[in-house]
Amino acid sequence: MFQGNVLVWNCRGIVNFESQRALIDIVQARKPSLIFLAETLAQKEHIDALTRRLGFKDNIYYPQERESQGVALIWNDDTHASLRSRSPNHIDVVVGKPDETHKWRFTVIYGVVAHGERHRTWTLIQALAAEPCTLPWLMAGDFNKIMSNNDKSGGPRRAAAPMATFRRTMADCDLLDMGFVGSRFTWSNKYTKERLDRSFQTPPWRSLFPYNRVITLNPSESDHCPLLIIVSAEKLRYKKATNQFRFEECWHENPRCGN
């Protein structure tokens, strides 16, 4: 059964050296098995080259087009993902080998950017939820919308109705917000901070992986913070830190210090 880390990041372009270097640093530090990138601004050859550079096995992508900024899902040798569907705004896969007992559904979302068209994101999620699939379900990505004004700092308050539609859509689809560790805000500009990037789970997915966590990582080469989703069916065990001796500068003032 899959247990590992999933990285979700609106990278704002992955073809430049700085963004690739930032991604490589995150991969080396956090060891994700699955990586979702939104706004890749890339074509197939770019994503294939990036997959090889990361030392990963395969990818599913939707290229940059006139109305699409590009999305990609990349996974390593220990992971198996089979495509269900994709569009400019989502990739939907089943994680797990065909003979595995505990497979699960993973959908990554890149919300429609245009303000007047954001209802299409909720229509897409509702259509995905209506598909015949009984697998435990994890959904994550950049939804380009906050759920309440508590997810915003600076600038004018958002209208209540669109946020209520977001909350109602997720509730109707039985998708539960997974919360977060770290910064509440995942996107910022000069004046405003907002939580646009999130992850959701269905109750069966939470039962399958009861010790999951979502960590907001530090921003890097993008105006979006990456999200790290820790997928674990067992309680994580951390090594107890060794007590290290540290010399205090003020001890110099003690006359017995020389001895």
Assess if residue 259 is contained within a domain. no
pLDDT band at 173 (very low <50, low <70, confident <90, very high): very high
The confidence score (pLDDT) of residue 246 equals: 55
Q: Which of 189-193, 224-228, 244-248 has the lowest mean pLDDT?
A: 244-248
Range of the domain at 160: 4-253
Assess if residue 16 is contained within a domain. yes
Assess if residue 116 is contained within a domain. yes
Assess if residue 45 is contained within a domain. yes
pLDDT at 253 over 90: no
The confidence score (pLDDT) of residue 152 equals: 95
DSSP state of 7: E
pLDDT at 245 over 80: no
Question: Locate tokens 């913070």: which residue?
Answer: 225
Assess if residue 13 is contained within a domain. yes
Q: CATH no. for residue 16?
A: 3.60.10.10
pLDDT at 168 over 70: yes
Between 235 and 162, name the one with better pLDDT: 162
Give the pLDDT mean for 247-257.
60
Render pLDDT for 115-146 as a digit per residue (tens, 0 to 9). Answer: 889 899 999 999 999 999 999 999 999 999 99
pLDDT at 240 over 90: no
Give the pLDDT mean for 30-55.
96
Cβ neighbours of residue 197 closer than 8 Å, sequence gap 6 or more:
8, 10, 140, 141, 142, 143, 186, 187, 224, 225, 227
Number of domains within the chain: 1
The residues facing 229 across adjacent strands are: 6, 214
Assess if residue 141 is contained within a domain. yes
**What is the C-alpha radius of gyration for the chain, rounded to an integer number of angstroms?**
21
Length of the chain counted residue by residue: 259
Assess if residue 258 is contained within a domain. no
pLDDT at 254 over 80: no
CA–CA gap between residue 19 and residue 17 (Å, rounded)? 6
Render pLDDT for 68-119 as a digit per residue (tens, 0 to 9). Answer: 799 999 999 999 999 999 999 999 999 998 888 899 999 999 999 888 898 9
CB 170, CB 125: distance < 8 Å: yes
7-32 residues labelled b (16+ CB within 10 A) or e (exposed):
bbbbbbbbbeeebbebbeebbeeeeb
The confidence score (pLDDT) of residue 248 equals: 55
What mean pLDDT, rounded, does the chain reach?
91
Render pLDDT for 60-69 as a digit per residue (tens, 0 to 9). Answer: 999 887 767 9
* Percentage of the chain lying above the pLDDT 90 cut: 79
